[in-house]
Structure 1
Amino acid sequence: MSAAGSYLVRGAALRDHWFDAPLDHADPSGPSIRLFAREIYDPALEAANLPWLLFLQGGPGGRGNRPLGLTGWLREASKNFRVLMLDQRGTGLSTPASRQTLPLVGGAAAQADYLAHFRATDIVADAELIRAALGSGPWSVFGQSYGGFCALTYLSMAPEGLKEVLITGGLGPLAGPADQVYEATFARLTARNTEYFARYPQDRAQVTRIMRHVACVAECLPTGERLTPERVQMLGNYFGGNTRIDALHYLLEDAFVPTPDGDRLSDGFLAQVSAQVSRAANPLYALMHESIYVQGEASNWAAARVLAAHPEFHPDAEEPLLTGEAVYPWYFEQDPALAPLREVAGLLAARTAGWGPLYDLAQLGRNTVPAAAAVYTDDIYVDHGISLATAAAVQGLQVWETSDFHHDGIADDGEGIFAQLLGMVRG
């Protein structure tokens, strides 16, 4: 382990830590990777030597948050903890996994074997290695979205390392297949489309117009590739938030501008769309997303198979619906950041070897670690019904069910949500 000196960012004290970890924790003498984590604390409380809280980010493939001060849930957490913001393996400053770096490990088959070590079980093993290196006793863990999935794996595989667990929007299914996830979330996404177009009825025609336009007219994103109807549909990602749903309306309202060649999509619109639909910043999301749901079976592009049975989401539907958080084979054809990874993505989708158990159901059934989870009634990414079924399988897990927030609830009221869950686990 190595660490840098502390520094201040708008009242938050930060300290950077690096750790060496085996790629395969079952083979400590094999290849190693580098892990990065950032310590965040209130400098006024430094002498109190507060206990650790590990934050596990959503994703998969999302780096830890880069704080600009003690705001949101960090403000509340820093009253009781030193927060450790982990860049999960393959993300941020931890040894990256992308189109640029993966060829260093070999061809597509070697890359798929390499990425088989980038799952929740590996992230938990990394966390335990880091906890030992920091000299911490059992620590607290806060998991958002996929970070909650990882927290459930932690409760399964290494409960001795945990003092308490908080989860927001992150109670995924404990068993496969992945299809069940998309059957549930497409239903919620349909309802969210209905809600959105009832709020902004003028946007129904605008979305259809944009999709019909890009099917016929070559409109290119700033990264050079053509914008397609399928990628326009990805703007449904905005539906995952309380306020972001309104941001979609503001994006759509100035999509077209007049030109000598007729109405075209504006440069401003295309730039904003590009930021939403590119996976350049988190390629692991596209590569590993469906693997977070499988245990022993292949995903075989589950979202694409389920989508095929829902014609209302087809780009050529009369009034096509927006999609959102799912990964499809065409991602690896249309996104320049993913195109070089097309073969490895196909191997991962067909893979069964290496997709071992993510959860120990017996251990979860006898859990003694205090745990609490926020379950959002209308969450379009982590289904409410699946979440409650999972909660019921974890002994002692308390559920705070609310319709006040969507999937990114901690972006809206992180302080309140964190305080609510911490209060629940501490009685």
Structure 2
Amino acid sequence: MTVTYRQPGVVFTDRRFSVPLDHDDPAGERIELFAREAVSASRGGADRPWLVYLQGGPGCPATRFHGTESWLGRALRDFRVLLLDQRGTGNSTPATRQTLPLRGGPREQADYLARFRADSIVRDCEAIRPDVTGGAPWTVLGQSFGGFCATHYLSAAPEGLAAAIITGGLPTLDGHADDVYRAAYPRMARKSAAHYARYPQDVERARRVAAHIAEHEPVLDNGYRLTVPAFQSLGMLLGSGDGSHRLHYLLEDAFVTTASGPALSDAFREDVQAALSYARVPLFAVLHESAYGQDERPTAWSAERMRAEFPRFDAEKALAGDAPVLFTGEAVQRWMFDGDPALRPLRETAELLAARTDWPRLYDTERLAANEVPVAATIYHDDLFVDTEHSLRTARAIRGLRTWVTDEYEHDGLRVSGPRVLDRMLALVRGEA
């Protein structure tokens, strides 16, 4: 059953599709995909080509828009838009600590989730495309991990694409997760340094918070065990355009004076809980490093292992001296599965995925070198989440790909720029710029 409703400037229709869990076994188990169709309220969409939007992540549902905010209004001038909740996310068949036990134990859960990577997501798109477009190719807009999916799309099923637009999501084609995180920690250090240069008072504030957490080991209201590494991981905020300011105001309100002495304020605890919990997007943590798996080497908690190569991130040593406590970014580590109640039941499942050695390759370099699909990519100059040099190397490997390299935005440029980033990408992909 479809449901249609209006918001200012847009008409949404909720759609559901049935697809195979394993596309190599089309007669086997099936799962449901949810997608939200959007058309312009004033222009309609019956005569317009389709654009399918793939959200970042992995494990994040499509954006829940309010009217024509952000890039959607620009897209609706030219397209009918399909906002797809990738398998396991949002209103698609969910995969969480609550639902995964239905699959069996950790081994069965890991085998199930191994089918939730970019290759399966692209096959989902190809499975539903005939129902949506009548068989016509569509344009894919991939943000962050959605760009990883779009790059795989170009490798695996370019015949389904009229064009590909990638924002902040050109992946390394052949690098191991170790290469990704070895390149990531210096960026995290740069983002921390830039934050402290903007707000020098935060150096002492962050040291004070870290020292308090190390001494008291607080547990937040939802059961989250707040450790110093968890506090450092608030550096995820530094990957967005306003993230440094948000982190500053978070630290500004960290303490209150109580009858027992200084304590972390309720406001700070509440905001930290919201920032760190994976309750809404558990697959982000469970599948994150698996997004880079494509050879016989296990990912083996790469972010955790690579951190040891960068002793500047050791907060205990920083507190023993006078060094600033550095923040980290997109780095999923074992302690998250001990600290976060939404992840604890999935710890063994995550261990099995980290040990897996049979990941299929995601990118066909020969096919990409012969690409004929119009494709454009936004590369953010010092993106916290996707290494710029890796992206540029991939851009050179995809025939005909046009880039816009900018330091005007952080990783969330598509979301915060209104129509500008998408408008630029459309001009590039159409040869108008």
Q: TM class by shorter-chain length?
A: over 0.9
CA contact (8 A) 1:123 1:150 kept: yes
Aligned equivalent of 1:310: 310
Match of 2:237 in 1: 238
Aligned to 2:381: 377
Aligned with 1:348 (options 347, 353, 364)? 353
For 2:26, the equivalent position in structure 1 comes to 28
Give the direction of change, closer, same or farther, for the CA distance of 1:268–1:161 in structure 2 (3 Å limit).
same
Following superposition, the deviation at residue 48 of structure 1 comes to: 4.7
Q: Name the Cα RMSD after superposition.
A: 1.0
Whole-angstrom CA distance in 1 between matches of 2:415 and 2:398: 26
Of 412, 416, 421 in structure 2, the residue corresponding to residue 417 of structure 1 is 421
What CA deviation, in whole Å up to 9, does each residue of 1:313-359 have, x standing for no partner?
Answer: 12313132110111001111111000000101100000012x10111
Pick one of 358, 363, 366 that aligns with 1:362.
366
State the match for 2:404 in structure 1: 400
Q: Which residue does the alignment assign to 1:167? A: 166
2:114 counterpart residue number: 116
After superposing the two structures, state which structure 1 stretch, 6-15 or 116-125, moved more.
Answer: 6-15
**TM value normalised by structure 2:** 0.96
1:210 counterpart residue number:
209
Q: Which residue of 1 aligns with 2:332?
A: 327
- d(CA) in 2 for partners of 1:379, 1:252: 23
* Residues 175, 294 of structure 1: 8 Å contact kept: no
Residue 380 of structure 1 and its aligned partner are, at CA, apart by 1.1
- Residues 6-405 of structure 1 correspond to what in structure 2 (within 5 A)? 6-46=4-44, 48-134=46-132, 135-296=134-295, 297-318=297-318, 319-353=324-358, 355-405=359-409
Partner amino acid, structure 1, of 2:315 = P
**Compared CA separation, residues 132 and 210, structure 1 to 2 (3 A):** same
Give per-residue Cα distances to partners, 1:82-103, cap 9 Å, x unaligned.
1100000000010011111111
Please give the alpha-carbon distance, in whole angstroms, between the structure 2 residues aligned to 1:229 and 1:286. Answer: 18
Structure 2 contact 15–34 (Cα < 8 Å) conserved: yes
Q: Distance in 1 between matches of 2:71 and 2:41?
A: 17
Amino acid at match of 1:193: S
Distance of aligned partners of 1:47 and 1:132 in 2 relative to their CA distance in 1, 3 Å threshold: closer
1:159-193 residue CA offsets vs partner (Å, 9 max, x unmatched):
00000011100001001311111111111111111
**Deviation of residue 228 (structure 1)?**
1.1
C-alpha distance in 1, partners of 2:338/2:415? 32
Aligned to 1:141, the other structure's residue is in SS state strand
Distance 2:199 2:224 in 1: 30
TM-score (norm 1): 0.98
* Counterpart secondary structure, 2:192: helix
Q: 1:426 aligns with which of 401, 414, 430?
A: 430
Q: Which amino acid aligns with 2:348?
A: E
**Counterpart residue type for residue 397 of structure 1:** L
Residues 53, 84 of structure 1: 8 Å contact kept? yes
> 1:330 is paired with a residue of what secondary structure?
helix
213-222 vs 98-107, which moves further: 213-222
State the identity %.
50
Are the aligned partners of 2:143 and 2:169 in contact in 1 as well (CA < 8 Å)? yes
Q: Which amino acid aligns with 1:17?
A: R
Q: Once the 2 structures are TM-superposed, how far is the Cα of residue 47 of structure 1 from its aligned partner?
A: 5.7
The one-letter amino acid of 2:188's match is L
Q: Secondary structure at the match of 1:164?
A: strand
User: How far is 1:139 from its partner?
Assistant: 0.3
Runs of at least 4 residues of structure 1 off by over 4 A?
Answer: none
Q: Distance in 2 between matches of 1:327 and 1:423?
A: 36
**Secondary structure of the residue that 1:8 maps to in structure 2?**
strand
Give the Cα separation in 2 of the matches to 1:220 and 1:178.
31
Kept in 1, the 8 Å contact 2:39–2:45? The answer is no
AA aligned opposite 1:369: V
Q: Distance in 1 between matches of 2:198 and 2:3?
A: 50
Secondary structure, in 3 states, of the residue corresponding to 1:304?
A: helix
Q: How many residues align?
A: 424
More displaced, 8-17 or 334-343? 8-17
Tell me the distance in 1 between the aligned counterparts of 2:291 and 2:33: 21
The whole-number CA distance in structure 2 between the counterparts of 1:362 and 1:288 is 27
